[in-house]
Amino acid sequence: MATNLDIDQELLEEALKIGGQKTKKNTVNKALKEFIDKRKQKEIISTFGSILYEPGYDYKKLRRRR
């Protein structure tokens, strides 16, 4: 699907140089993918420390059973 966007040409040219992509389309697609990945990482990081563990859980004891 074709989409017309008014993209800052200076930003696009810099992204082309830095990203190493051959086309503007590939550059924009890669930038969008990286943006999405970074946002998903932030969501995952926000869950750190939020998992509640059973106080009496002893993982070492479970290893000895084998």
Dump pLDDT digits (tens) for 54-63. Answer: 888 887 887 8
Tokens read off for 46: 């926000």
| Residue-wise pLDDT tens digits, 26-63 | 999 999 999 999 999 998 888 888 888 888 888 788 78
Burial of 60: CB neighbours in 10 Å, binned 0-12, 13-18, 19+: exposed
**Rounded distance, CA 12 to CA 29, Å?**
12
pTM: 0.65
**Rounded distance, CA 31 to CA 25, Å?**
10
Residue 15 in contact with residue 31, Cβ under 8 Å?
yes
Burial of 27: CB neighbours in 10 Å, binned 0-12, 13-18, 19+: buried
Mean pLDDT value across residues 12-18? 95
pLDDT of residue 1: 81
pLDDT of residue 64: 66
